[in-house]
Structure 1
Amino acid sequence: MSTTTASIPSPAGPLAGAERASESWPFWNILVVDDEQGMRNFLCKALAPRCHAVMEAGSAEQGEAVLRAHHIDLIILDISLPGKNGVAWLKELREHGFTGDVILITAFADLDTAIEALRAGASDFILKPFRMPQILTAVRHCWERSRLTRENYILRRSQSAEGIQRGGLVGSSGAMEQLWQAVRRAAAVHSTVLLQGESGTGKELVARALHALSARAQGPFVPVNCASMSPELIESELFGHAKGAFTGATRARDGLFHYAQGGTLFLDEVAELPLALQATLLRALEDLKIRPVGSERLVPVNVRIVAATNRQLAGEVAAGRFRKDLYYRLQVLELTLPPLREHKEDIPELAAHFTAQLAPALGADPLVLTETERSFLMRYDWPGNVRELRNLIERSLILGALNVSALYAQPPAARLTSAAGQPTDLHTLEKQHILSVLDSVQGDKTRAAQLLGISRRTLERRVAEWALP
């Protein structure tokens, strides 16, 4: 049993040069199981330059040892092996939850053998003697199928997740510049990162930036909202499960750790994880191995963890709701995202960014803010942070004018501040703002109502309450 790495040169002839460059499967680990040393050497030398690592074994028993020590994405398996044959071992692998691809090769086969192999869960079936392009084509098909499955799964999760914001972090204030410098430093290493900040401050955007700037940028970015998953199913979601692990588990399934292989797993709202699962997660982070639910097999993983929470984890630890050892394991690098009220100078830039981003998608005219409206945005405390500003811009683009009326419906905590920084009565501020808008349009109530995002009747009722003409 041995491991072949990409340092081994590819064979000469038709496999070199352009074809080698076009046939590559980064982050994939391949295991070749064949009792013929020459065949193993041939396959390993051809495959090694094209993938992350190629390992070899001369029997099913040796192959089992490799699987216990390494994560394997694809097995090229000879049917005729000493001891346990390839088809029998493949059946056992599937029963124990191995979900990677398996290409069976053999010099002695008939139709019945091929059917048995495919029923056992083989991805492809190749007869010896074969030419290397046949193997490369089969591997490429497995790689493409795996990649599409992974991308579709991640896409479905991303589309169903709430609060996902797209685009980069925006802002040139001192607070944002300091954050970006910290992100660049953290992206250069492989350590676990903990992001802390209020809801809506852009923790997922920072996590995506950490991934995009890291050496794992070509791997997948898998976001997980820990608060949105059922406590009963979250372990299966993260680590996968074996067939029959629980009622309804009619087949083995990979977890999100598997889909994040070679990339980044983003655990949003990590403070919501149940205590029992926190212990399992800690063990996975320390050992870099996971155990699917209902399986005895430990699966090695190559994943970077970025965790996020809107709670103060130190307080959660003190209250007994979060494990201290997991907190310290996640806190290798800790970044705190500032709330929008602490860098309000970025609001005009953010508003312009969201307008440019959303207006074409909505088919709306760009939003041009007046000085009065800018002043209002700068005085508002933004309890929902950048997400709340984005939602306001989107509503306003749809309505055709800045829709500040929605902000007046906020709870008391969503207060505004005066120029002196003191809280101002919300009704008084509403009156000041409406009068300011009326003044800016020389008393044109129709135009003022449009700018305010309310009906003219509502505006007239407000003016009548204040006994104004």
Structure 2
Amino acid sequence: MSQAVRGQVLLVDDEQMVRQATEQWLKMSGFEVISCSGAEQALAQLDEAFPGVLLTDVKMPGMDGLQLMREARSRIAELPVILLTAHGDVDMAISAMREGAYDFIEKPFVPERLVETINRACDKRRLMLENLRLQQDLASRSGIDAKLIGISPAIQRLKREILALAALDTNVVIYGETGTGKELVAQCLHEFSSRNSRHFVPINCGAIPEALIESELFGHEAGAFTSAAKRRIGKFEHADGGTLFLDEIESMPPHLQVKVLRALQEGVIERLGSNQPISVDLRVVAASKADLREEANFREDLFYRLNVAQLHIPPLRERLEDVPLLFAHYVRQAAAAHDRNSRNLSEQDQRTLQGYNWPGNVRELKNVAIRFALDQRASLAELLSAHTQPVVFEAPQDKPLSLALQVAAFEAEVIRQSLMRHKGNIKSVMDELDLPRRTLNQKMVKYGLNRNDFLSEADPEQSA
């Protein structure tokens, strides 16, 4: 069986015997070698797509190794260059590293050390080219490819389904785990439809207190209730001619589901405090983490009114080939937004990226990518560790909990105690802890707290 190529080396040395011996050793070690006797010959081999590293002697007639390094790196930014130096040239080689040389090896060199250094340099060059490819790929994208980033079969299939449904103008239910990008998919359905000149109106049914959600959806007249100082247009009316996106629709109160169903059936709404019917023409896209057919409190007739078509968003762990492209996109986006230089992944970062299964999906990946872009010193492994540790509270027997774990454990216990005091009443917990609904939901998921575990046996249906 042939040996896998470990990388490509452009070897430059004017001494034929040294060059031939070095070439033979590198080929035996699994490298592809291009051998040159002088700098001018080597420069003819270099272009932006050159996949390997430059290994050059320093002392050469004509253009020496340092001049070759400078010229090569002026053509190919960050090209790894390894210098072969005599013992007396060490100070000069160290100075060259300040100019950007990858490393230097003293003659006579230990072959194993040379191979190890070249191997690391080749890995670095591969990562550079991969980052360059990702940047070029992202820059060249347009249409739905610029909106939904990914090359996996699962995401390509989803793109085709979105474009097909966008043209049909039917109601759609989007299913997907938390963080998979349900609102982005809904935006694509709107943007690539005939309604794209009108409003796309999102509303998270789980993030608005029950007492306010009816007004949010249908609007109200001045004086309709105590705090209604003036008329307010609701989401249904604002979305007239466009698309209304109902996120977390499984959390919509049953009594409100009846009014939503009537609005969809008749194309008419009434503001709170008014008897005047208002005609609306809109498309409804709903999203849910759970199968609506299995939700006991979700009306079957509303389900069938909404469920004309379905879209299922795959979790990120089922399309891991999309992770590098997505991560590079969000790193570049964050760097540009905060006026930072875009940061490339190290070899270890790349392994970490590919080895993590992203339980929080694209939302988690985006958050980590932003921190990676802004914290230029932290490795990806360190960021992921800080990101995921707070959900685990068991420390090794011989080691106390870290500060981050202790803070997270305290926060989880505060929320748990509040849920117990209020018997699972989410509104009361929000008020007591001064937390928005979305934030509380996220923390409950993070710490494995389920509202149903705290409901009073005497009052299992108390409001959320």
The TM-score with structure 1 as length reference comes to 0.51
Do the aligned partners of residues 305 and 179 (structure 1) sit closer, same or farther apart at CA in structure 2, a change above 3 Å counting? same
Task: Return the offset for 1:265.
Answer: 0.9
Cα distance, 1:408 vs structure 2: 2.3
Task: Find the partner of 2:262 among 258, 271, 283.
Answer: 283
User: In the alignment, is residue 404 of structure 1 matched against residue 384 of structure 2?
Assistant: no
CA apart distance, 1:293: 1.2
> Structure 2 matches for 1:268-307, cutoff 5 A?
268-307=247-286
The match for 1:261 is: 240
CA distance in 1, matches of 2:343, 2:331: 6
The residue aligned with 2:316 is: 340
Separation in 2 of the partners of 1:214 and 1:307? 16
Measure the CA separation in 2 of the matches of 1:399 and 1:240.
Answer: 44
- C-alpha distance in structure 2 between counterparts of 1:426 and 1:397, whole Å: 30
SS in 1 for 2:193: coil
Please list the CA deviations of residues 84-107 of structure 1 after superposition, one character each: whole Å capped at 9, or x if unmatched. Answer: xxxxxxxxxxxxxxxxxxxxxxxx
Verify: 1:381 aligned to 2:360, yes or no.
Answer: no
| CA distance in structure 1 between the partners assigned to 2:160 and 2:207 by the alignment | 31
Of all paired residues, the percent bearing the same amino acid is 44
Question: Is structure 2 residue 337 aligned with structure 1 residue 361?
Answer: yes
Please list the CA deviations of residues 115-164 of structure 1 after superposition, one character each: whole Å capped at 9, or x if unmatched.
xxxxxxxxxxxxxxxxxxxxxxxxxxxxxxxxxxxxxxxxxxxxxxxxxx
- Larger gyration radius, structure 1 or structure 2: 2
Separation in 1, partners of 2:169, 2:194: 8
Deviation at 1:202, TM superposition (A): 0.8
CA contact (8 A) 1:395 1:403 kept: no
Query: CA separation in 2, counterparts of 1:399 and 1:358?
Result: 11
Task: Give the counterpart letter for 1:405 in structure 2.
Answer: E
CA distance in 1, matches of 2:348, 2:297: 46
> How many Å apart are 1:294 and its aligned residue?
1.8
2:382 maps to a residue whose letter is S
* Preserved contact between residue 292 and residue 298 of structure 2 (Cα < 8 Å): yes
Distance 1:398 1:411 in 2: 18
| Equivalence for 1:188 | 167
Q: Could you say what secondary structure the match of 2:206 adopts?
A: helix
Q: Does 1:395 align with 2:374?
A: no
Q: Give the CA deviation at 1:383.
A: 1.0
Q: Give 1:116-135 correspondences, 5 Å limit.
A: none
Question: 1-side partners of 2:390 and 2:288: how far apart?
Answer: 21
Q: Which residue of 1 aligns with 2:143?
A: none
* Aligned residue-pair number: 249
Matches within 5 A, 1:162-201: 168-201=147-180
SS where residue 222 of structure 1 aligns?
strand
Q: Alpha-carbon deviation of 1:299?
A: 0.9
- RMSD of the alignment, in Å? 2.2
Asked if the contact 1:381–1:414 (Cα under 8 Å) also holds between the matched residues in 2, the reply is no
1:249-292 per-residue CA deviation (whole Å, 9 max, x = no partner) reads 23322111111111111111111111110111111111111111
The unaligned stretches of length 5 or more in structure 1 are 1-166, 416-424, 428-469
Write the letter of the residue equivalent to 1:354.
Answer: Y
**Cα drift, residue 362 of structure 1:** 1.4
1:386 match: secondary structure: helix
SS in 1 for 2:201: strand
User: Which structure 2 residues correspond to residues 18-57 of structure 1 after superposition, within 5 A?
Assistant: none
1:358-395 deviation line (CA, Å, top 9, x unaligned): 21111222121123222211221211101111111110
Change beyond 3 A, Cα 1:342–1:267: same
Partner in structure 2 of residue 326 of structure 1: 302
What amino acid sits opposite 1:295 in the alignment? Answer: S
Aligned partner of 1:240 in structure 2 is: 219
- Is this contact kept in 2: 1:265–1:303, CA < 8 A? yes
Sort the Cα spacing of 1:195 and 1:244 in 2 relative to 1 into closer, same or farther, 3 A. Answer: same
Does residue 249 of the first structure (1) align with residue 207 of the second (2)?
no
- Which whole-Å CA distance do the structure 1 matches of 2:189 and 2:250 have between them? 20
Distance (whole Å) between structure 1 residues aligned to residue 346 and residue 383 of structure 2:
18
Which amino acid is 1:404 matched to? A
Cα separation, 2, equivalents of 1:409 and 1:312? 33
Q: Secondary structure at the match of 1:267?
A: strand
1:219 to 192, 198, 202: 198
> What amino acid is aligned across from residue 172 of structure 1 in structure 2?
I
In 1, Cα distance between the equivalents of 2:387 and 2:197?
Answer: 42
CA distance in 2, matches of 1:426, 1:171: 38
Per the TM alignment, residue 403 of structure 1 is displaced from its structure 2 partner at its CA by 3.7
| CA positional deviation for 1:426 | 12
| 1:426/1:361 CA distance change after superposition, 3 Å | farther
1:332-354 per-residue CA deviation (whole Å, 9 max, x = no partner) reads: 11101000000000111111111
Q: Which amino acid aligns with 1:408?
A: S
For the residue of structure 1 that corresponds to 2:147, the secondary structure is coil
1:312-332 per-residue CA deviation (whole Å, 9 max, x = no partner) reads: 22221xxx2211111121111
Read off the aligned partner of 2:384 and give its amino acid letter: L
**What is aligned with 1:308?**
287
Secondary structure at 2:311 match in 1: strand
CA-to-aligned-CA distance 1:431-465 (integer Å, 9 cap, x gap): xxxxxxxxxxxxxxxxxxxxxxxxxxxxxxxxxxx
CA–CA distance in structure 1, aligned partners of residues 371 and 183 of structure 2: 22
Task: Answer whether contact 1:242 1:252 (CA < 8 A) is retained.
Answer: yes
Contact 1:288 / 1:301 at 8 angstroms: preserved in 2?
yes
Q: 3-state SS of the aligned residue for 1:265?
A: strand
Q: Which runs of 5+ in 2 are unaligned?
A: 1-145, 397-464
Of the three residues 352, 358, 363, the one matched with 2:328 is: 352
